[in-house]
């Protein structure tokens, strides 16, 4: 295990997750938005810093994926405690997005015995869209981008599952199905 800056940024999300839950439990929406924002910044920064400093690694890619998963799993629960009425209204969408985020992990685990760390471009786009959608949903009661972003999350899941089926062994940092197919030629 290497504790370099990118890995610390990824680890931050894992460590921050219980505190995100506490912001919900104690009814602290400002704390939720602050910590959620910091978690998103760490997600945006870890891969960039790793590439720029030459500190990419399989461990770092896995840690990043686990950090992402902790955000995906703790955000709905914290939000439920803070905004139960919005959660009730949006429950089918929230269940869909959580399920769709978990589905590629199940396929990867079934095939490779571990969770994939592809970090596709579609994953980056859907993460930005869903994050902004969450802020608009809970901060401004505007669900339009949140609903639209679910389409991108579904496309990302399809791409990740396709990559899993195409790969003979696990790989990290696969930009897209197109890149994978291009490399195979």
Domain boundary among 41, 75, 109: 75
Pseudo-torsion of CA 91, 96, 99, 105, nearest 10°? -140
Question: What tokens were used for 125?
Answer: 């786009």
Give the number of domains in the chain. 2
Domain shared by 124 and 140, yes or no: yes
| Residue 54 domain boundaries | 1-75
pLDDT above 90 as % of the chain? 81
Are 64 and 10 within 8 A, CB to CB?
yes
Question: What tokens were used for 151?
Answer: 């389409």
Domain shared by 147 and 92, yes or no: yes
pLDDT at 1: 63
Q: What is the C-alpha to C-alpha distance for residues 13 and 26, in angstroms, rounded to an integer?
A: 20
Predicted confidence (pLDDT) at residue 47 exceeds the cutoff of 90: no
pTM, rounded to two decimals: 0.88
Q: What is the C-alpha to C-alpha distance for residues 183 and 178, in angstroms, rounded to an integer?
A: 9
Domain shared by 70 and 134, yes or no: no
């Amino acid at each position: 295990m290497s504790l370099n800056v990118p890995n610390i940024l990824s680890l931050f999300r894992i460590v921050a997750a219980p505190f995100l839950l506490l912001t919900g439990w104690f009814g602290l929406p400002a704390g939720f938005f602050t910590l959620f924002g910091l978690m998103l910044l760490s997600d945006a920064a870890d891969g960039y810093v790793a590439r720029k400093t030459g500190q990419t690694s399989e461990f770092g890619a896995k840690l990043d994926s686990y950090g992402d998963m902790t955000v995906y799993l703790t955000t709905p629960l914290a939000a439920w405690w803070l905004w139960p009425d919005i959660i009730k209204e949006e429950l089918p969408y929230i269940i869909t997005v959580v399920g769709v985020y978990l589905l590629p992990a199940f396929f990867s685990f079934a095939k490779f015995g571990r969770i994939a760390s592809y970090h596709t471009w579609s994953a980056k786009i859907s993460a930005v869209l869903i994050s902004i959608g969450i802020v608009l949903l809970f901060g401004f009661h505007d669900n339009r981008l949140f609903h639209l972003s679910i389409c991108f999350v579904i496309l990302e899941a399809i791409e990740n599952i396709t990559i899993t089926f195409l790969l003979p062994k696990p790989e990290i940092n696969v930009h897209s199905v197109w890149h994978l197919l291009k490399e195979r030629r």
